[in-house]
């Protein structure tokens, strides 16, 4: 609906000024509250915001930067402000309302270091701890606000929220009397009936059923599985959190199961076949989950994943104990359903043509036995492998909540569905380091993906291999050593070529405009051998229960140059799922040692391997770090329309 035609119900501002004293042992949070409720009425639709009574000066003993985990563990010691939103549409019309934040003038703390956390009055999480500046852009006209929370409702409602604020643990400036002030605003308007994604997919199934594309679904126990070829199942693409997904099923509770199109990384499973507690489980529900935008409002928080053992070529529907987790993997039965309509299970034309076959090895959640776990091989066939000595691609799966609405897109690969609540497309002059992991960036004429934001800089990894003309360039890693720090060695090795400053080297060939955007980053060189956690690549303690962001980092690092390589377990350290990098696919080197004499690599069929650095020749997909003040000049962050970037302050 055109915004100009929307009926605005109200905009209400609530001023919350936070004064943070980093040099002392306490701080004052001053919330300016109204002495009476705000009430506005438009066409008979009342809306109301009211602050709970209480002191307006808060003595907070935790003024120093703190971590999210510490904050959550000490909520009873932190102060907060409560407010209630009530009202609605008596005539059962649909109402969109949005709580959004706007900065005040004169702030001396960068909003990239302010954490906001929204709960209900019982401290049940509504919005996970989020960096202020990473929140989605408000839809309210004439504002640069950030959405704290939004939803579309019908009828009357009465909801109480509790807002916490603290300084992120990454903030290091030791200056007293730093301040940050912002307003909490309420914006609402009448809207049309939402278009649920699950209903749209059901409509697409009907419209795409033709004489050529028959039997596109399997209906079983209230679940609708998509089943067919990639040519026929071409309407189930979703763009969410910088990643392309494929819908695989509509569950009986109308939640929507989907899986990433790419294998996002390639790692060991663990030394046993148990899913819960495995390195795969940790990576999915720690490292990967952390990259999902607004996940508490978009993905089902109570998903259950069947990990019942199955050794059949025609897997049975799993039963028995389920494993809880926000992120999981497809099981063997779900994968089998994706091509079951195409013919006999042992027919390579069936599993090879199924829409989930991506031409690489990737893990399923299903054990084959007490010593093997099911996986999919590069031809699309169901296989089994040892979970400790083999390392395959990981394609995360989530269940979208049943009420998820479409905000745009047609469901095709080139124009996938976009969903409400996801991070909005960047605006001109937005900072690149405010974006999400997975979005595409044009750097010096080539496509890269955002890996993550580290110390306010943006880490990128190349989509394509380094090429000589149209051919993939391959080289030995180094001259018989696993030490990536051998910068200045012969350019016949990657360790010398990538950081060579002459025009014949990779770094030297970058144009001056883009070279000035680069900054040296830290590349971790922890060893990851067989039967070893991916965390060893970055953490100093191998069996830590901390996430890779929280753990004490290994002292084995390299930061002597501008160009590195992805490490084991890092986002986008595997091959690209549908061979977007060309018909010629190469094994690629990673920066992670396997042992004192071998280096990790990813094979041309997508599994994690290793080789002698002086004896084997592989391709690479370089990693770089960009300065904190890089701005977006155009684009949408997708593969088809990557962000273009600029740096007005770079010299």
Positions of the chain with pLDDT under 50: 1-13, 17-45, 53-59, 580-582
Whether 325 and 439 share a structural domain? no
- The Cα–Cα gap between 447 and 644 comes to 10
Whether 334 and 355 share a structural domain? yes
Predicted model pTM: 0.77
pLDDT at 67: 86
Whether 382 and 437 share a structural domain? no
Of 546, 527, 607, nearest to 573 (Cα)? 607
Whether 175 and 220 share a structural domain? no
Q: Give the Å distances, CA to CA, from 584 to 147, 474, 605, 616.
A: 43, 12, 12, 18
Domain assignment of residue 446, yes or no: yes
Whether 480 and 624 share a structural domain? yes
Give the burial class of 564: count Cβ atoms within 10 A of its Cβ; 0-12 exposed, 13-18 middle, 19 or more buried. buried
Last residue of a domain, one of 149, 168, 191: 191
- The Cα–Cα gap between 160 and 386 comes to 51
Domain assignment of residue 448, yes or no: yes
- Number of independent structural domains in the chain: 3
Whether 155 and 74 share a structural domain? yes
Domain assignment of residue 123, yes or no: yes
Whether 229 and 100 share a structural domain? no
pLDDT at 24: 35
Whether 163 and 238 share a structural domain? no
Whether 534 and 571 share a structural domain? yes
Of 135, 171, 181, 148, nearest to 17 (Cα)? 181
Whether 185 and 300 share a structural domain? no
Percent helix, strand, coil in the chain, to 5, is 10, 35, 50
Of 161, 66, 82, 181, nearest to 120 (Cα)? 161
pLDDT at 542: 67
Whether 593 and 458 share a structural domain? yes
Last residue of a domain, one of 130, 162, 191: 191
Structure tokens at 117: 């956390």
Domain assignment of residue 459, yes or no: yes
Domain assignment of residue 251, yes or no: yes
Domain assignment of residue 651, yes or no: no
Could you say which DSSP state residue 194 is in?
P
Whether 491 and 375 share a structural domain? no
Last residue of a domain, one of 168, 191, 214: 191
Domain assignment of residue 419, yes or no: no
pLDDT at 261: 95
pLDDT at 506: 95
pLDDT at 50: 59
The torsion angle over the Cα atoms of residues 494, 499, 502 and 505, rounded to 10 degrees, is: 30
Domain assignment of residue 424, yes or no: no
- The Cα–Cα gap between 378 and 188 comes to 50
Domain range for 490: 432-645
Residue with tokens 């509770």: 253
Contacts 24+ apart (CB under 8 A), 213-222: 215/341, 216/341, 218/337, 218/340, 218/341, 220/317, 221/252, 221/317, 222/251, 222/252
């Amino acid at each position: 609906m055109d915004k100009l035609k929307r009926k605005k119900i109200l905009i209400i501002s609530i001023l919350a000024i936070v004064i943070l004293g980093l040099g002392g042992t306490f701080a004052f949070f001053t919330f300016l509250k109204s002495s009476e409720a705000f009430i506005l009425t438009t066409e008979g639709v009342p809306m109301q915001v009211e602050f709970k009574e209480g002191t307006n000066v808060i003595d907070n003993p935790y003024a120093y930067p703190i971590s999210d985990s510490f904050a959550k563990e000490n909520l009873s010691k932190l102060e907060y402000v409560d407010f209630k939103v009530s009202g609605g549409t008596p005539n059962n019309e649909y109402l969109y309302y949005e709580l959004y934040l706007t900065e005040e003038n004169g702030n001396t703390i960068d909003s990239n270091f302010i954490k906001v956390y929204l709960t209900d009055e019982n401290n049940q999480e509504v919005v996970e701890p989020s960096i202020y500046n990473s929140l989605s852009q408000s839809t309210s006209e004439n504002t640069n606000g950030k959405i704290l929370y939004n939803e579309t409702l019908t009828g009357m409602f009465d909801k109480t929220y509790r807002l916490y604020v603290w300084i992120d643990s990454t903030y290091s400036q030791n200056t007293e009397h730093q301040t940050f002030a912002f307003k909490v605003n309420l914006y609402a308007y009448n809207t049309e009936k939402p278009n649920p994604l699950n209903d749209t997919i059901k409509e697409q199934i009907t419209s795409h059923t033709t004489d050529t594309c028959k039997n596109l679904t399997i209906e079983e126990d209230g679940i609708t599985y998509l089943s067919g070829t990639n040519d026929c199942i071409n309407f189930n693409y979703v763009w969410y959190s910088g990643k392309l997904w494929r819908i695989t099923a509509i569950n009986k509770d109308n939640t929507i199961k989907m899986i990433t199109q790419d294998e996002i990384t390639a790692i060991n499973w663990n030394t046993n076949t148990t899913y819960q507690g495995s390195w795969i489980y940790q990576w999915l529900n720690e490292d990967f989950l952390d990259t999902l935008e607004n996940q508490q409002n978009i993905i089902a928080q109570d998903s259950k994943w069947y990990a019942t053992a199955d050794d059949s070529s025609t897997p049975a529907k799993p039963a028995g104990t389920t494993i809880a987790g926000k992120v999981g993997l497809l099981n063997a039965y779900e994968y089998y359903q994706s091509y079951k309509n195409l013919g006999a299970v042992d027919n390579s034309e069936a599993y090879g043509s199924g829409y989930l076959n991506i031409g690489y090895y990737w893990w399923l959640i299903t054990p084959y036995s007490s010593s093997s776990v099911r996986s999919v091989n590069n031809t699309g066939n169901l296989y089994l492998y040892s979970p400790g000595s083999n390392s395959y691609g990981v394609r995360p799966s989530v269940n979208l909540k049943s009420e998820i609405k479409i905000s745009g897109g047609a469901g095709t690969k080139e124009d996938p569905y976009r969903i409400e609540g996801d991070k909005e497309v960047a605006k001109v002059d937005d900072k690149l380091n405010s974006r999400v992991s997975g979005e595409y960036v044009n750097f010096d004429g080539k496509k890269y993906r955002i890996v993550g934001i580290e110390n306010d800089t943006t880490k990128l990894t190349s989509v394509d291999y380094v090429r000589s003309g149209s051919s993939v360039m391959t080289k030995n890693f180094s001259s018989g050593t696993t030490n990536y720090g051998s910068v200045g060695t012969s350019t016949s090795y990657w360790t010398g070529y990538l950081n060579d400053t002459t025009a014949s080297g990779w770094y030297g060939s970058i144009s001056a405009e883009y070279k000035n955007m680069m900054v040296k980053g830290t590349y971790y060189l922890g060893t990851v051998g067989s039967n070893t956690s991916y965390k060893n690549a970055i953490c100093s303690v191998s069996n830590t229960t901390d996430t890779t962001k929280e753990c004490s980092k290994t002292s084995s690092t390299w930061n002597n140059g501008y160009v590195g390589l992805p490490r084991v377990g890092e986002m986008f350290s595997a091959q690209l799922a549908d061979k977007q990098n060309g018909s010629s696919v190469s094994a690629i080197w990673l920066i992670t040692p396997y042992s004192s004499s071998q280096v990790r690599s990813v094979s041309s069929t997508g599994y994690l391997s290793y080789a002698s650095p002086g004896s084997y020749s592989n391709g690479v997909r370089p990693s770089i770090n960009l300065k904190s003040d890089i701005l977006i000049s155009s684009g949408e962050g997708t593969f088809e329309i990557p962000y273009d970037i600029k740096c007005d302050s770079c010299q």
